[in-house]
Amino acid sequence: MGVTTDQDEQAEAPSPGSDSRPFPRRHGRGRIAAAVSVFGELLITAGLVLGLFVVYSLWWTNVLADRKADRQGAKVRDHWASATPDSGPGALDTKDGIGFLHVPAMNNGDVLVEKGTETSVLNDAVAGYYTDPVKATLPMTGRTGNFALAAHRDGHGAKFHNIDKLKKGDPIVFETKDDWYVYKVFAILPQTSKYNVEVLTAVPEQAGVKKRGHYITLTTCTPVFTSEYRYIVWGELVRVDRVDSKRTPPKELS
């Protein structure tokens, strides 16, 4: 190990009047670095919180809503199974649900249909039929009109998430206690104002029809992850199949 001499100490000693603090500006730079570090940590935390919120909104709400819809759908089917032949059609009982929507192109399973399009209804992973501002015509009544439905596209079951997969000619099947109502898609409106109630009317002229008939209309939000506009799909009834004892689905669902 080397030895320090008096000359070395004199050479290393600061001259009188000089600032003996080495690199005096480091304190300012340190404060800036610390502030940047804290800000970065806050951004990371905010990102994690936002990510968790997205997971909750787009995945966990689906899980919870689907579970509830499955339980409710089971109640409807149990009600159908226990109904006696003279108890009436049962399909007009809107307490638990009126039937199930099947849309193969959307790959969304059987979707319970209930009364109303309020958020409190649709959040249960169901499709709701309109009662306001235009009242939907239920197919079980036999009357001409428009069976207009809505469902979420994202979150809370997202039952109409794949509505853009539907093409003209694709089947839409509505199952009730007694009948299968088979519709065929004939018109699509990829984007329209959410205030456009004309798409729900009994004779939806924007679909290109001019006379009364038996129509079905599916509506949901668009673009994906927003609610700025509405996506519309129209179908027309092509036939009604009677439900047999085994509830054999129509060929369109095979």
Q: How far apart are CA 188 and CA 217, in angstroms?
A: 10
Whether 221 is a known active-site residue: answer yes
Q: How far apart are CA 243 and CA 73, in angstroms?
A: 18
DSSP secondary structure letters along 128-179: EE--SSS----GGG---EEEEEE--SSSTT-TTTTGGG--TT-EEEEE-SSE
Cβ neighbours for 148, distance < 8 A, ≥ 6 positions apart: 129, 130, 134, 136, 199, 200, 216, 217, 219
Give the type of residue at 216: I
Given a contact cutoff of 8 angstroms between Cβ atoms, the answer to whether 185 and 172 are in contact is yes
Select which of 140, 148, 189, 221 is catalytic.
221
- 3-state secondary structure (DSSP) of residue 154: coil
Q: How far is CA 11 from CA 23, 42, 125, 186, 199, in A?
A: 19, 48, 83, 95, 92
Tokens (6 digits) for 22: 């080495």
Catalytic positions, written as ranges: 221
